[in-house]
Chain A
Amino acid sequence: MTSARNALPARFGSFGGQYVPETLMPALDQLEEAYLASRADESFRQEFEYYLRCYAGRPTPLYFAEGLTRHYGRAKIYLKREDLAHTGAHKINNALGQVLLAKRMGKTRIIAETGAGQHGVATATACAKFSIPCAVYMGEEDIERQRLNVFRMRLLGAEVISVSQGSRTLKDAINEAIRDWVTNVATTHYVIGSVVGPHPYPTMVRDFQSVIGMETREQVLAVEGRLPSYLVACVGGGSNAMGFFHPFVGDPTVRFIGVEAAGAGIETGRHAATLTAGSPGVLHGAKSFLLQDNDGQVLPAYSISAGLDYPGVGPEHAYFKETGRATYVSATDKEALDAFLMLSEVEGIIPALESAHAIAYLDKLLPQTTPDDIVVVCLSGRGDKDVETVEKVLQGCMK
């Protein structure tokens, strides 16, 4: 009945759907309708593109990483520089799209959740730009480890609401945001920050993020005259990866690799590698892969990177895993830290800890490639927010 009722497909294979309290169902219908109307509206598209270009700084460069390429001596490596987008990560693409949509729907208040703070900052930025009140839910533990981003959100006029329930990280921030939305649904739009949540969010967020892959495609064809062999991106909820992969979905020679956070190591149980080590379940409005116990209770995730510290994953990634369209692998905290240091030294680019997981996988991928291959890594964000965390870890190692 869902598929007949929805204008857009609500599922990716068996994943996705709308598992939310009844109160929200009409709001999801309204959102889907407004989103479809906006897609068909040339003036909305032009406005969105205008702000992506003139405000967010798109297109972001596709950078030939000479130092990195030399480092491995195999395939040519390019970096898609989302770290150079306004606010320092790809999150601004989706935040601008959804805030413009919320304005169009006549909503007068915005809420969001955030893990690393990048999505919170992006949403607070878009809300400041368009003068809409904004509240951001953030886990207590994440507030601790991402203090710089908390301060940025406050500077931008957003209210940061600390979430002390459960694991005190992203999962519980989403729970609280959904509770707020159920309560204030008449006036409030919930800007979900990844390709997760009930339909139409996974589709809509993917579409807003697809600018990453569309630009990459155009740019790589312009410089290389051919498509890349591999696309590599980190996966927490999975929005940078999905926006990067999706415009290539019809190109079977382009292989997709999603890198999850293995935390302290998959075997320790302290990780956030949902697709690698999880199983199908229902959380936050969608059926997808989940970290859960035998009773169906959601397990806490763990990663040094707050943005990947999530026990769920976008349903379209679950579908890509099931169909084999993408391969999902993982990198540990330590591997990500090593990549963080290596990229800083070799390229003069300090990556976000999230993006460092994608870089970390190059150690395993590159030996399998030849100089004829092209590897593009989505450098989803910059590492300024993480230097404090990394400093602490390094000091700990030196002692």
Chain B
Amino acid sequence: MNMKGSVCIMNDHIMNTNENAGSRSRLQKKFSELRAHNRKGLIIYICAGDPDIRTTFNMAKAIAKAGADVIELGVPFSDPLADGPVIQAASTRALASGTNVKKILALVDSLRYEDDFPKIPLVLMTYLNPVYRYGLAEFVRDAAAAGVDGLIVPDLPAGEEESAELINAMSGPDIFMDLIPLVAPTSTDERIRAAADIARSFIYCVSLTGVTGARDSLPAGLEGFIGRVRSLTDKPVAVGFGISTPEHAREAARHADAVIVGSAIVKTIHDVTTSMGTGPAALASVRAVVEGFKNAITARPACSDS
């Protein structure tokens, strides 16, 4: 629980890209490390509390063992309007199992005592209302204390007042937590620049115009879109939405610093826990699937340009 750096107080949310001195968040360290080793990152999303918090705890450990670079925990919401059917259904199950923000923060706190977790960044993906209801400043305080490294809020576009309030709360002393901005293919250059200004660790590129969920192929314009983002910022970019297979991940990783896999894993967790329960066999199956993604993005030697 006491993993935070202790020296640097970040009092400005807009970080210089060449900032290096002092303590940085786990996320910033992770993305620097990935670049330094010319590696691509794997970010795995799971819905916290589906089917229950205890299983999520065990799944997170299995996913870390499989080599995930970052774990994203979804906070279930009654009205997940950016999500497709797989994550909608997972959210419904998680709410039915009694999951809420407090329990998810307790889960993060307990994970921090496990192997691998001192270093693995943990990010929460949540719609605004549960956080708004909790209280923005109180949420940042409690989440940072529990060891949350970042926050993704799909219905809070850059520029809304809560975005500034969250960033402000995250600029407090001893808080190393990032608000991770999203950009989409429809984003104007101006909005991408605004997102890049906010981003401390990485920018979340939504690969397509649509909701989360499996697709047959990657969107045709992905390379061009990532290229456009790259031309506007040198902050690291992670690409997510619709990355359904290790092949997709391999291809997306050619363009991005990291890939985010969500629905494919959420579906796997649901399938295996339904068919074989929540024991070691289920955990091993999920681990194997994550390893498949990990191998896909690391198998290729780092000789190609991107």
Binding site for B on A (CB under 8 A): 1-2, 5, 17-27, 165-166, 171-172, 175, 178-179, 182-186, 281-285, 287, 290, 292, 294-298
Q: What does DSSP make chain A's interface, helix, strand, loop or mixed?
A: mixed
B162 to chain A, nearest CB (A): 8
Q: A20-B157, A185-B186, A186-B209 are in contact. Are A282 and B128 (CB under 8 A)?
A: yes
Given A25-B186, A296-B130, 16 further pairs, Cβ under 8 A: A1-B159, A5-B159, A18-B157, A21-B157, A22-B182, A22-B184, A22-B187, A166-B79, A172-B79, A182-B209, A182-B210, A282-B127, A282-B128, A283-B129, A295-B101, A295-B133
For residue A26, which residues in chain B have a CB less than 8 angstroms away from its CB? Answer: 186-188, 191
Q: Are B129 and A23 in contact (CB under 8 A)?
A: no
- CB-defined contacts of A184 to chain B, threshold 8 Å: 209
Q: A-B pairs with the 9 shortest C-beta distances?
A: A296-B133, A296-B130, A23-B184, A1-B159, A183-B210, A295-B100, A297-B78, A296-B129, A298-B78
Given known A182-B210, A183-B210, A298-B79, contact A22–B129 (CB-CB < 8 A): no
Shortest distance from the beta carbon of A316 to any chain B beta carbon, whole Å? 18
- For B99, give the chain A residue with the smallest CB separation: A295
28 intermolecular pairs with C-beta atoms under 8 Å apart:
A1-B158, A1-B159, A1-B164, A2-B161, A18-B157, A19-B160, A21-B81, A21-B157, A21-B206, A22-B182, A22-B191, A22-B206, A23-B187, A23-B209, A23-B210, A25-B157, A25-B186, A165-B88, A166-B92, A183-B209, A281-B133, A292-B129, A292-B133, A296-B129, A296-B130, A296-B132, A296-B133, A297-B129
Q: Which residue of B lies closest to A176 (CB)?
A: B81
What residues of A have a CB within 8 angstroms of the CB of B101 in the complex? 295-296
Looking at B84, B129, B154, which has the most chain A CB atoms within 10 Å of its CB? B129
CA–CA, A122 to B80, complex, Å?
28
B165 within 8 A of A: no
A178 to B88, CA, bound (A): 14
Say yes or no: is B166 at the interface (Cβ < 8 Å to chain A). Answer: no
Contacts of A22 in B (CB 8 A): 154, 157-158, 182-184, 186-187, 191, 195, 206
B95-A297 in contact (CB<8A) = yes
Q: Cβ of A283: which chain B residues have Cβ within 8 Å of it?
A: 79, 129
A297-B191 CB under 8 A given contacts A2-B159, A2-B161, A282-B128: no
Give the residues in chain B near A183, CB-CB below 8 Å.
Answer: 209-211
Inter-subunit contact A295/B130 (CB<8 Å): yes
**In-complex Cβ contact of B160 among A18, A172, A290, A292 (8 A):** A18
B288 CB-CB contact with A under 8 Å:
no
- Say which residue of A20, A27, A185 sits within 8 Å of B155 (CB atoms): A20
In the complex, B77 has a CB within 8 A of chain A: yes
A22-B206, A292-B133 are known contacts. Are A166 and B157 too (CB-CB below 8 A)?
no
Give CA–CA (A314, B210) in the complex, Å. 26
Which residues of chain B have C-beta atoms less than 8 A from A287's C-beta?
132
With A21-B155, A22-B182 as given contacts, are A294 and B133 in contact (CB-CB < 8 Å)?
yes
B82 within 8 A of A: yes
A22 to B195, CA, bound (A): 10
- Measured between beta carbons, the chain B residues less than 8 angstroms from A294 are 133
In the complex the two chains form, is A179's CB within 8 Å of B182's CB?
Answer: no
**Nearest B residue (CB) for A312:** B79
Interface status of B137 (Cβ within 8 A of chain A): no
Let me know if B113 is at the binding interface, CB within 8 A: no
Q: Mark B205-238, 1 if CB is under 8 A from A, else 0.
A: 0100111000000000000000000000000000
CB neighbours of B161 from chain A (8 A): 2, 17
Residue of B whose beta carbon sits closest to that of A175:
B81
Chain A residues in 8 Å Cβ range of B289: none
Which residue of the partner chain, among B133, B155, B195, contacts A19 with CB atoms under 8 Å?
B155
Per the 8 Å Cβ criterion, residues 112-164 of B in contact with A are: 127-134, 154-161, 164
The answer, among A1, A24, A166, for a CB contact under 8 Å with B78, is A166
Contact call A23/B156, Cβ cutoff below 8 A = no
Q: Which residues of B, 49-97, contact A by the 8 Å Cβ criterion?
A: 77-82, 84, 88, 92, 95
Complex Cα distance A292/B134, Å? 12
| Also in contact, A182 and B79, with CB within 8 A (given A21-B155, A23-B184, A281-B129) | no
Min CB gap B275→A, angstroms: 24
Once the chains bind, are A179 and B209 in contact (CB under 8 Å)? no
- Least Cβ–Cβ distance between A221 and chain B, in angstroms: 41
Instruction: Determine the chain A residues whose CB is within 8 A of the CB of B154 once the complex forms.
Output: 21-22
In the bound complex, CA of A292 to CA of B127 (Å) = 14
Q: Are A182 and B211 interface neighbours, CB within 8 A?
A: yes
Cα distance, A281 to B134, chains bound together (Å): 11
A25 in contact with B182 (CB, 8 Å): no
CB-defined contacts of B206 to chain A, threshold 8 Å: 21-23
Interface centre among A166, A175, A285, A296 (most CB of B within 10 A): A296
CA gap between A21 and B186 in the complex, in Å: 11
When C-beta atoms are compared, the residue in chain A nearest to B184 turns out to be: A23
Q: A282 contacts which chain B residues (CB < 8 A)? A: 127-129, 132, 155
Q: Which residues of B contact A178 (CB under 8 A)?
A: 81
Task: List chain B residues, Cβ under 8 A from A21.
Answer: 81-82, 154-155, 157, 182, 184, 206
Looking at the assembled complex, report how far the CB atom of B235 sits from the nearest CB atom of chain A, in whole angstroms: 16
The 8 Å CB contact of A297, one of B77, B160, B211, is: B77
- C-alpha spacing A25/B160, complex, angstroms: 11
Near A by CB (< 8 A), chain B positions 162-185 give 164, 182-185
A2 to B164 CA separation, bound complex (whole angstroms): 11
CB distance from A31 to the nearest CB of B (A): 13
Residues on the A chain within 8 Å of B92, using CB:
166
